[in-house]
Amino acid sequence: MNDISAFHLAIEDLLREVSDKVILPRFRNLAAQDIMDKGGDDPVTIADRESEAMLRERLERIIPGLAFVGEESAHADPAVLDGLKGDCWIVDPIDGTRNFANGREPFGILVAMASGGEAVTGWIYDCLSGRFCVAQRGKGAFIGKDRVFARETGETPPVAAISLIFMEEAQREAMRSHIALHYTLTDIPYCAAEQYPRLALGANDVSIFERTLAWDHAAGVLWLNEAGGKAARLDGSPYRVDEIGRTGLVGAATPQLWDDMVTRLNALGQA
């Protein structure tokens, strides 16, 4: 990655600046009027909006003219999602807003570049620790300058983080009755910027995601796959950022762990 290291450093500097100037000063310092509900218990804060505005302005300087698909801009105008079909930035200005708004960790910033419906580069920044994950398609996954190779926990049974909040009740019951008993269940961080690193760094073995919005998953899916883990749709097809409204995604520390989970889901008719 030596030929693009300066580019990654520029993105890291930007994400750190946004975090330090916009996000962290608001952490545990939000007034009631600074937190809004977009509907369906989906909070947004003044920091989300200010972070997205700063990211949009500064990313435009880095690559002028590239379409910008941000979580908050897409909520305000769904036509923004059309940008996912071409070359674009994909931005979650605060991933883990639910945590952030309640004064809890983890939370971070997710940025990806996509072309033709597929993420080609992704960055994951943890605002509190400064952990900076980066991946470029075909060139591996890194934390800072260190190459990352996904590893499983080594636990028996494997450790699973299964998000039930966006599932229908029948799906939840099937997960509890037929899937959960094969795994040691662990907490859901409510933050993809934390969940994908957990899958590669030996903390979790497998995770199921129902809602798969581009700003939540573009960077993490690319990073995990480049680390040698596996994240894909339940039918085995690659995750695409332009499949708006499609649900269901499994991420795992190894392809074998992914296969085991999807085999069980297939047996339930979930995949």
Cα distances from 208 to residues 31, 47, 58, 231, 240, in angstroms, run 34, 28, 33, 10, 17
The per-residue pLDDT for range 46-59, each reduced to its tens digit, is 999 999 999 999 99
Domain boundaries, the chain: 2-148, 159-267
71 is in an annotated binding site: yes
pLDDT in the model for residue 168? 74
Cα distances from 202 to residues 174, 179, 240, in angstroms, run 27, 21, 26
The per-residue pLDDT for range 11-24, each reduced to its tens digit, is 999 999 999 999 99
Residues 189-193 have a mean pLDDT of 96
The per-residue pLDDT for range 114-159, each reduced to its tens digit, is 999 999 999 999 999 999 999 999 999 999 999 999 999 999 999 9
Buried b (16+ CB within 10 A) or exposed e, 159-193: bbbbbbeebeeebeebbeeebeeebeebebbbbbb
Amino acid residing at 232: A
pTM listed for this prediction: 0.94
| Residues 141 and 147 sit within 8 Å (Cβ to Cβ) | yes
126 is in an annotated binding site: no
Q: CA quadruple 249, 140, 24, 89: dihedral positive or negative?
A: negative
pLDDT at 250 over 90: yes
CATH assignment of 159-267, among 3.40.50.9100, 3.40.50.2300, 3.40.50.10440, 3.40.190.80 = 3.40.190.80
Query: 159-267: same fold as 2-148?
Result: no
Q: Which two tokens stand for residue 3?
A: 């030929």
Residues 2-19 have a mean pLDDT of 87
- CA dist 22 and 70 (Å) reads 16
Render 103-165 in DSSP notation, one character per residue: T-S--EEEEEEEETTEEEEEEEEETTT--EEEEETTS-EEETTEEE--B----SSPEEEE--T
Rounded to 10 deg, the angle between the 5-18 and 46-62 helix axes is 150
62 is in an annotated binding site: no
Strand partners, 44: 36
**What is 2-148's CATH number?**
3.30.540.10
Angle at 162 between CA 46 and CA 92, to 5 degrees: 25
- CA dist 237 and 166 (Å) reads 21
pLDDT at 270 over 60: no
52 is in an annotated binding site: no
235 is in an annotated binding site: no
